[in-house]
Amino acid sequence: TSKWARAMAILKELDDKCGTPLGKLRQVADAMTVEMHAGLASEGGSKLKMLISFVDNLPTGDEHGLFYALDLGGTNFRVLRVKLGGKEGGVVQQEFDEVSIPPELMVGTSEQLFDYIAEALAKFVATESEGLHPEPNRQRELGFTFSFPVKQTSIASGTLIRWTKGFSIEDTVGGDVVAELTKAMKRKGVDMRVTALVNDTVGTLAGGRYYDGEVIAAVILGTGTNAAYVERATAIPKWHGPYPKSGEMVINMEWGNFRSSHLPITEYDIALDEESLNPGEQIYEKMISGMYLGEIVRRVLCKMAEEASLFGDTVPSKLTTPFILRTPDMSSMHHDTSPDLKVVASKLKDVLGIPNTSLKVRKVIVDICDIIASRGACLSAAGILGIIKKLGRDAPKQGENPKSVIALDGGLFEHYAKFRECMEDTLKELLGDEIAEGIVIKHSNDGSGIGAALLAASHSQYL
């Protein structure tokens, strides 16, 4: 019928507009490199903030003692304590807990959010087991992983530039997030000092380096997306502070805010952005990360329902609800290998309230998931290529063959196998066989928690 032809036309157009041939990805990578230079040259020089992390030394393995970490970055936050045993001991013991953040707190007041966190921290401190107590007369120390754009003013202070990933709390913006947490801890009777404030990418980089000396960058693919890497201090013109002894500085790129005319943007992306909590911002993140992939798929389905009656004469009402289709559900549908696409059928029924679908329609849905996930995966590979190029590791000098390890973490990378495989395969293709041999993607499972604790240790008040 002509309805079906219309559905196919929408699918075809989506596929064309989302195309990511290698040439285009190279343009994206080059644009990323250019923006990195611009962001390092001057404050506000680029959409990429290229934030100075104040981490000029990564973990060496000598760190020892009891340290806490708190990771606030998306829908959950994690609290962690570790006992570090120095070179010989490594991570001797660790305990953690995960607490979800009630959605209303993501758009409430600063005090409410930080009180909630401090309360959870108080409860966690109360459960210290044998061997995980601080030494007598020593205050507990914490590495605070805060995965939003922060302008650091020192290793343990920084002001929030803006919220992302569905958080929107006016009164936090422009304030020092460590001061907010410290006040809340005081209100809740937690005697603890924040000795390091780190982005999750920086934490992941630190955690990655602790286990593997060849780690040079970290990328997060979770609710949002971001990257950090080790830069030469001489390559940061905007840095006017003291020259670090190591000659290096970790840069938090805040790459989620990257945008470029080379990005394959569709009408769905434009509408998603316009209706988001942060229009005009985090454009790259909105094409790649877990918070948004399912939502893009929903928008395509909506259009097919409206214009091609994909699900019958009326548009199913649930389908019109923003963010109802989450990326984990999209991922389950995408990975459905049953001949009659059972999983797709049950997700449509349970999540979107669409009961009877034909196999033909379910196949279209898998195709849409594939187009959107592949585009995100390819674009993240291009971003990684941009970092590798910035560091000159795409063209090692004659005779040199450095290994570059990139620590990857985040729920999207960890759980969305097709996304991960596409990202890794595309990066290999972009690099070519020879160079690809020296570039390793390594899953750094919850490296950011351990990383924050390690940085808390190396910046302890007792050193």
Catalytic-role residue among 46, 53, 110, 147: 147
Q: Which does 376 bind (CB under 5 to 8 A by kind): ligand ADP, Mg ion, none?
A: none
Residue 411 interacting with Mg ion (CB under 5 A): no
Q: Which residue is nearest to ligand ADP (CB)?
A: 74
Q: One symbol per residue from 359 to 398: x for binding ligand ADP (CB under 6 A), - otherwise; what is it?
A: ----------------------------------------
First to last CA, the chain: 75
Instruction: Identify the residue among 152, 164, 204, 223 touching ligand ADP (CB under 6 A).
Output: 223
**Nearest C-alpha neighbor of 208 from the set 380, 459, 458, 448:** 448
Instruction: Identify the residue among 158, 222, 383, 451 touching ligand ADP (CB under 6 A).
Output: 222
Residue closer to Mg ion, measured from CB, 134 or 224: 224
Return the structure tokens found at 356: 């009877």
Residue closer to ligand ADP, measured from CB, 65 or 74: 74
Q: Which does 75 bind (CB under 5 to 8 A by kind): Mg ion, ligand ADP, none?
A: ligand ADP
Q: Which does 411 bind (CB under 5 to 8 A by kind): ligand ADP, Mg ion, none?
A: ligand ADP
Residue closer to ligand ADP, measured from CB, 172 or 223: 223
Residue 327 interacting with ligand ADP (CB under 6 A): yes
User: Which amino acid, 120?
Assistant: A
Residue closer to Mg ion, measured from CB, 222 or 294: 222
**Nearest C-alpha neighbor of 91 from the set 461, 462, 457:** 457
Residue closer to Mg ion, measured from CB, 214 or 414: 414
Stretch that binds ligand ADP, among 218-226, 237-245, 247-255, 306-314 (CB under 6 A): 218-226
Residue closer to Mg ion, measured from CB, 223 or 374: 223
Q: How far is the CB of 38 from ligand ADP (least distance, A)?
A: 27
Q: Which does 223 bind (CB under 5 to 8 A by kind): ligand ADP, Mg ion, none?
A: ligand ADP
Residue 59 interacting with ligand ADP (CB under 6 A): no
- Rounded distance, CA 439 to CA 217, Å? 11
Residue 73 interacting with ligand ADP (CB under 6 A): yes
Instruction: Identify the residue among 162, 415, 428, 442 touching ligand ADP (CB under 6 A).
Output: 415
Number of other CB atoms surrounding residue 162 within 10 Å = 17
Catalytic-role residue among 15, 26, 30, 162: 162
Clarify whether 200 is annotated catalytic: yes
User: Which amino acid, 336?
Assistant: D
Number of residues that bind ligand ADP (CB under 6 A): 16
Clarify whether 176 is annotated catalytic: no
Residue 6 interacting with ligand ADP (CB under 6 A): no
Q: Which does 290 bind (CB under 5 to 8 A by kind): Mg ion, ligand ADP, none?
A: ligand ADP
Q: For residue 187, give Cα distances in angstroms to 99, 111, 114, 115, 181.
A: 20, 10, 10, 8, 10
Q: Binders of Mg ion among 215-244, rule CB under 5 A?
A: 222
Instruction: Identify the residue among 39, 203, 290, 383 touching ligand ADP (CB under 6 A).
Output: 290
Instruction: Identify the residue among 39, 65, 74, 134 touching ligand ADP (CB under 6 A).
Output: 74
Residues designated as active site? 147, 162, 200
Residues lying near ligand ADP in the complex (CB under 6 A):
73-75, 222-224, 290-291, 327-328, 331, 410-412, 415-416
Residues in contact with Mg ion by CB under 5 A are 73, 200, 222
